[in-house]
Structures are given as C-alpha cells and as structure tokens.
Amino acid sequence: MDLLNTLVDKGLRRELPTREEALAVLATSDDDLLDVVAAAGKVRRQWFGRRVKLNYLVNLKSGLCPEDCSYCSQRLGSKAEILKYTWLKPEEASKAAAAGVAGGAKRVCLVASGRGPTDRDVERVGRTIEAIKEENEGVEVCACLGLLSDGQAERLRSAGADAYNHNLNTSEGTYGDITTTHTYADRVDTVQKAHAAGLSACSGLIAGMGESDEDLVDVVFALRELDPDSVPVNFLIPFEGTPLAKEWNLTPQRALRILAMVRFVCPDVEVRLAGGREVHLRTLQPLALHLANSIFLGDYLTSEGQAGKADLEMIADAGFEVEGTDTTTLPEHRSDAASCGTGGGCGSGSVCSSEEPAPAATTEPVRGDQARTDLVAVRRRGAGTDLAPNA
C-alpha cells in the first residue's frame, strides 16, 4: 500500500503524517491489518529495537475521588465495587513497588485518586519516592496525582520524581462529554507544568469511549504537540457501576489499528500498551508489541491484569526482550530536540505541522465488539490488601 510506504518513510524521518493519513490508518480493513502492523513495526524497531520497557503501578490511594470522569471506577458516584483506602504509608508503597521491580519493571508509577494533591500530599509522595529509590537502585519513579498547582511539579522533581503522568484521554471537542468537574485545558496545563519543571512528561489517551476516528486523531495530534516522552494508550475497561459500563466499542483489530496510528504520529516516543489490553486485544496482545515498546506489568489501579509471569512469557515468545535499567529508553536525539515556537514542542521530530485545524468530527462512533464482562475483574490483591501483588 502506498499509504503504508509513505508512513514508514515519514516515521523513519520523524516527520508528522497528515491528518488524512492518520485517519486512513484507522480506516484500513481487517484484510490489511498485518500489513499495517508490519509497517508500524518497522518504525518501532528503528527507534526502540526489540526492547520492551516494563512499568508497574502502585495505587497509593484508591477510590473516593470527587471528580466525575465517566470512564473511571474511582469517580464520584461510582457504584463499582473496587478497593477503597486512604494513603499507603511510604514503607507499604515501597514494598508494593519492590514486587514490580523484582518482576522486571524499570519504572514504578505512583498513582493517587483525587482532583490534585495538596502540598502535604506532595510531601507524603516525596517520602514514598525516597523510600522506593533507597530500596531499588536505578528504578524510575513517575507520579500521577491529578491536577498540579504552581510549584508542585518542582517539588516532586526535587523529591526524586523522574516523570509525571497526566493523560488528555480524549479530544478537546468531546472532553466535556466525559468529565464536567475539570476541563481539557486543566489537563494540558498540568502536562506543561511537568515539562517546565524538568520532569519527563507522560500523557496519553483512552480509546473505546464511543469516540469517532476524528476524535482519536485529534487527541493524538494534540499529544504530539505537547511532546510527552511517554504516550500510554488505554482501552476503556467498562466497569459495572460507571456511566460507560455499556460501551463495548472495540475489536482486537481496531485496537491494533489505533496503536499503529499512534506509532506513526509519535514515531520515536515511548508508546505504552496500558489498561484494557487484556480485555480488548485478548489473544492478539503479542502483535501489539510490534507497535508499542512499553507495557504495564501485572495488575492496574482497580482492575486485575494478566499474570506478570504471562507478560514475561509473551514478550519472550514474541521475540522481544525486557529493557534493562542500564539502557536509556528514548533515542538520544529526543533529549536534544529543540522545541518549535512558544506553545511547547511540535512533537518528537524536527518537522512542525502548519496544517489548519481540522473540522469538528462528523463520523459516528465505531461499534461492534461483543461485551466480555468476564474479562473485567476488580483488583483484590496487592496495594491496599494483605495479599501478594501480581507482578
């Protein structure tokens, strides 16, 4: 396909595809799926070889969130029967993190529910970071605490945080449909605060919430403009007891096309296969390793994931290798890339897009997958419990 040849050439040059090209990837047929995966795989291998970075989540504070994000089991008014607990002590969080590191995780992601941290919360997380790094030499720590106030990103950086995660989740045009207690602009502001403080920015999306192809392309292009180092691609886990419990819009094939589109738009960025992969990719998970160079190991915040041992076996069987702590994840040029203009980076490449903003999305959401509620399991082990974690 001429489209795929063009996208591979652009990806190897770190050049931004056009919106039409990105949309065309999502519109490819199932008959062309392996060709799409192979093409995006060439771009992935150019910048990341066959390495897979492992990340491990520790939920520091679960449930009881005042925000109303429709996709979230921890939201205000959620009836999902998840674990609910207040802040883990630093030594408890360190113990949980150690299980992930022992399983091969290179990065520990510390997450806490809520609108955003108080200054006291930042101090608490700082002590947790210190405890984790004392016990695990060379581990990276990413904090995910919600919206940041002025100065908090700098304090987290001083406390030893390496990165900060705050996802855009969906397009600006549809953001108000999934959340009303904060805005899309609030999220952008927090990612920019992390950047400005010298933290590695991590920001991604959630697919499968009923969005159109245009919405997906909008959010991925917006992420490219923000220039995060890591882009987690989550697939909605439709928890019973949340407003999106009936949204089963993804097939394994569509999930792969979404990952391929993200790789073409963000060729040299850490693309992370995140929540929901087991639910929606299912037996096609190994193919996703040809697109993403990073995954979460074991369980997620409130849901159970694939067994950590199975993750490691999948990586080995697919011909990939776990990335060690002695290896730098990102290509060398990323740290030296100059930003374009005054509104942040123009992505990971040296080419800035000058396209006019695209018109509002007009296509209907893609539907058609069968509900697999049997694959949605609430986490009952690990952080916040007396049971051993899955790592």
What pLDDT sits at residue 336? Answer: 58
Task: Please give the Cα distance from 378 to 151 (Å, whole number).
Answer: 35
- Report pLDDT digits (tens) over 235-286: 999 988 898 999 999 999 999 999 999 999 999 999 999 999 999 999 999 9
- Identify the three-state secondary structure at position 92: helix
CB 67 within 8 A of CB 181: yes
Cβ-in-10-Å burial (0-12, 13-18, 19+) of 214 comes to: buried
What pLDDT sits at residue 367? Answer: 55
Residue 110 bridge partners (DSSP): 58, 143
What pLDDT sits at residue 77? Answer: 77
For β-strands 200-202 and 205-207, DSSP reports them as: unpaired
What pLDDT sits at residue 303? Answer: 79
Q: Which residues have CB under 8 Å from 170's CB, separation 6+?
A: 178, 205, 206, 209, 211, 215, 219
Share of the chain above pLDDT 90, in %: 74
Mean pLDDT split into 10-residue runs, the chain, 391 residues: 96 97 98 98 98 96 88 80 88 94 96 94 97 94 97 97 97 95 97 97 97 98 97 94 91 98 98 96 97 94 87 97 94 65 37 38 53 82 83 82
Report whether CATH 3.20.20.70 matches the domain 2-358.
yes
Catalytic site positions: 65, 69, 72, 109, 142, 202, 272
What pLDDT sits at residue 85? Answer: 87
Phi, psi of 205 (to 5 degrees): -145, 170
Specify the pTM.
0.90
What pLDDT sits at residue 380? Answer: 78
Task: Please give the Cα distance from 137 to 244 (Å, whole number).
Answer: 40
What pLDDT sits at residue 340? Answer: 37
Task: Please give the Cα distance from 49 to 316 (Å, whole number).
Answer: 14
